[in-house]
Chains A and B, each alone.
Chain A
Amino acid sequence: MKIAVLIKQVPGSESTLPMNNSQDWIDEPSVTFVMNPPDNFALEEALLIREKMSEGEVVVVSMGPSRVQKVIREGLAKGADRAIHLEEDGQIEIDPLLIAQRFTDILKEENFDLILTGLQSDDTGMGQTGVLIGEMLGLPTATLAIETDVLDGQIRVKRELESGWFQWVQLPLPASISIQSGLNTPRYPSLKGIMGAKKKEIRTVPNSDLLSGEQAQSMDRIFVPTTSKKTEVIEGDADQVVERIVEILRSDIKVT
């Protein structure tokens, strides 16, 4: 069983996000980057599958500038067997189609049985990369997995639907699955893992070797949402006040 886990490095949710001077992206040097939390769950799920089957290989695949080596090391320390770093310095976060394209050649060449992604990235939150890769590689694809069960040549996946509904689907392998957060408890690397990670292989694929495509989406301008405070003093007798409050609850705050 050969499992790829796609890991993205994103600005930590606790960081304040300053804008760059051209106001088209955040000012990266002053931001703390961490492993995209949903990807952490995907990695844990891959490690659990490998442990349960007591065989197989977990490969961390990450795209980005040299700083992503930090999350790659983290993945290796947690127990991934090796890693592939796809170099990319461009600002393509905003274009999942292009990102998916760049991944395809490498993923095809490796012949993975299973490709796991976090359901979305915490920066732009598109939630498309895993699905697009599945489509481009012609693999059966399931999203929002909250439980997995690998069978012989198949994988059963419990998907989260709306309003507390779930769905079990069975897919033939190879498959691409996006993992919902919270389905497991990601581990902390043991010291052995941290030390061992230094010796594990990281294959670096230069940007020029990646499939190039046109950037279809780009960022025009980003800005901090403006907030305003509006205070309304409700006057009148009790009935009128209640009526107005109910109206506000219904139409403004939309309590149903």
Chain B
Amino acid sequence: MGASYVTFGRMFRVIMSGSQPLNWPDVIKNWKHGIAAFFGQKTLFKTRPVIGLIHALVAWGFALYLAVNIIDVLYGFIPNFKFFPDSFIGDVYRLFVDIFSVLVLLGVFYFLVRRFLIKDSRLVTRDPVMLSEKAQKGMRFDSFLVGSFIILHIGSRFLSASFEIALSEPDQSQPAANLVAGLWSNMPTDTMHVMEHTTWWLALGLILAFLPYFPFSKHAHLFMGPLNIMAAVDRRSMAAIETIDFEDEDLEQFGASQLQHLPQTQLLDGYACIQCSRCQDACPAYDTGKELSPSAIEINKRYFLNENMTTLANGDVIDRALTEWMLTEEAAWSCTTCGYCVEVCPVGNEPMVDILRARQDLVMMESKFPQDAMETFEKIENYGNPWGLSPQDREKWMDGHDVPLMREKKNVDVLYWAGCSGAYDSRGREISQSVANIMNEAGVDYACLGNEETCTGDSARRIGNEYLFQTMAEQNKETFDQYDFKRIVTQCPHCFTTLKNDYAEMGIDLEVVHHSQFIDELIRDEKITPKPYVDEDVTFHDPCYLGRHNDEYDAPRNVLQSVLKDGNIREMEQSKSESFCCGAGGGNMWYEIKTGGRINQSRVDQAVETKANTVAAACNFCNIMLEDGVKTTGNEDSIKVLDIAEMVSNGLR
């Protein structure tokens, strides 16, 4: 017990070696979240519901056993102690213990079978993901040891109960133990006495034997998981991480190059991780064969922390780059920041945030990043858009369309932000024209910035160029300050989340709505009444930055519904919070990772499977990626890609 205590103490000192100190009083204030996670087990059911249920039974069984062990100790050391003998409470207690013993035994037995006999591929990490050799061996050993411990501990306790029954009389409140007791009917009484005591003490003794190992094992997640949920950073949205103060002259490190640069909550993630690899299952980069596995990040982190526990606990720094042991550079660039890994994690880990921090270091400290991304930065710097097209051409999409300009109107209800893709990409322009048409039809008091608009800095920020992002934000703020408007409408979820959440992090407060929400509102307020005209089935692709990052799943579907006549919405295999990325997020629009398959093609395959004739998008990047995917998978004849605004605009004519 002492050893375990010392180790836990060290673990907390290890966590303290990270940056951005945790606010412990706040963490403790969130105790309810931790308790809710432990007993509710809600986060486990988001994916793998059956395994989640088995896990829940094991977890509840564990909680019960905590009480059982305390009562057993009292029973062992206080002569003639019995927990409410012959009373209703005691019977209920014994019934619960009996049932849960069997359930936990079966559950853990299944877990061991799954790992060692079925060899579920979801529990291993494929090549070429970097996973420490120690972890590869350690994980199997760890699982075997802990699984065996639980089976031996609970099994012994259960056998002891059965011997006790065999020696006295059947106990109706312990049906399973009764059943097993029948097996001992031919055993000599002396042997039964010996067995009862041996198994009983074995159950308690095993706890003592296991305790010193417990904190090193991934099973520390029992405490660290709920604690991590209590310590969760309250972000405006998943990728809206804290800004960096470039005015602070004491700051010498930007982003995370080594372990100590990671925020403390990210180190806690490593301890909280149970290595279930739900995040790896979810990851579009992993799914398409790239070098990235979010769970490998946490697993590598945990083994690094274990291996260097003494050094780190002493406050010493280990001079090794994250890219040497946590994730490779290519893995960092493979992330589309879709946020699925964060969404599915039962213990509230954020591998995506580790990646964003590592990218900041690679970009701002080491200038090591894909060449194409560099060109993107230069294009944003020089021309104010990642396409590198002339800032004077931003208004071209308005030609022949009646679009009011901010520099003429100065004071409006709605500032319509078309975004770079809405101004330069040929399909994006058509979407902008549709949005403008809807606004005109609805009589909205709106205007566009036109040539005064410039990139929000989304791609720069996700790729890790926080400095460029802040430069863009400040530039846009100056423009906003010149005009009066109540809110911003944008068709691009990347512009949307950046203006809404990332700018807010910088202290620029704006009211921003996505065009899906705005059009939904116009329809509800009967400002427009699109004619239902779509006779064919439609599937909707949830953009990551609208859905998972901003929890908006209904508005775009409502909008779609408004134009459906005989057609229906057919959901893809993965939709809403489980939506599969188009592959463009996190700056991946601008550079190419050659390893593995193409994410957009996987998504198009899912869309085609629904047999819908249209895949509706609500993001210009998704639109570009899906159209490309439709062409490269040869599905041009079976499915087309349209933005919801285009579909509504068509219904207004």
Contact = CB atoms under 8 A, between A and B. Distances in A.
A191 B363 CA distance: 8
Contacts of B510: none
B383 A14 contact: yes
B365 interface: yes
A12 B382 contact: yes
Nearest to B252: A192
A14 B388 contact: yes
Given A12-B383, A34-B382, A188 B367 contact: yes
A191 B371 contact: no
Contacts of A12: 382-383, 388, 390
Most chain B CB neighbours (cut-off 10 Å) among A15, A30, A185, A188:
A188
A130 to B, nearest CB: 24
Contacts of A16: 390, 392-393
Given A14-B388, A14-B390, A16-B390, A191 B383 contact: no
B382 A191 contact: no
Contacts of B254: 191
A194 interface: yes
Contact of A14 (B374, B389, B467): B389
Mostly helix, strand, loop or mixed at chain B's interface? helix
A91 interface: no
Interface string B362-374: 0111110101001
A194 B467 contact: yes
Interface string B212-244: 000000000000000000000000000000000
B467 A15 contact: no
A185 B371 contact: yes
A190 B364 contact: yes
A32 interface: yes
B391 interface: yes
A200 interface: no
B496 interface: no
A197 to B, nearest CB: 12
B377 interface: yes
A52 interface: no
Interface residues of A, number: 17
Contacts of B392: 15-16, 18, 30
Contacts of B367: 187-190
A8 B133 CA distance: 53
A191 B391 contact: no
A15 B389 CA distance: 7
Contacts of A188: 363, 367, 369, 374, 377-378
Interface string B330-367: 00000000000000000000000000000000011111
In order of increasing CB-CB distance, the 4 nearest A-B pairs are A191-B364, A188-B374, A15-B390, A190-B367
**Max count, chain A CB within 10 A of own CB: residue among B246, B369, B383, B390:** B390
Contacts of B377: 188
Contacts of B378: 34, 188
Contact of B366 (A18, A34, A190, A195): A190
A23 to B, nearest CB: 18
Nearest to B254: A191
Given A190-B366, A192-B365, A32 B391 contact: yes
A32 B364 contact: no
Interface in A12-58: 12, 14-16, 18, 30, 32, 34
Contact of A191 (B365, B374, B379, B389): B365
Contacts of A195: 246
A60 B348 CA distance: 50
Nearest to B375: A188
B99 to A, nearest CB: 60
Interface string A185-208: 101111110110000000000000
Given A14-B390, A188-B377, A191-B254, 19 more contacts: A12-B383, A12-B388, A12-B390, A14-B383, A14-B388, A15-B390, A15-B392, A16-B390, A16-B392, A18-B392, A30-B392, A32-B382, A32-B383, A32-B390, A185-B371, A188-B374, A189-B367, A190-B366, A191-B246
Contacts of B246: 191, 195
Interface string B609-645: 0000000000000000000000000000000000000
B467 A191 contact: yes
12 contacts: A12-B388, A14-B389, A16-B393, A32-B390, A34-B382, A185-B371, A187-B367, A188-B367, A188-B374, A189-B367, A190-B366, A192-B365
Contacts of A34: 378, 382
A14 B378 CA distance: 12
Given A14-B388, A14-B390, A32-B391, A190 B382 contact: no
B555 to A, nearest CB: 36
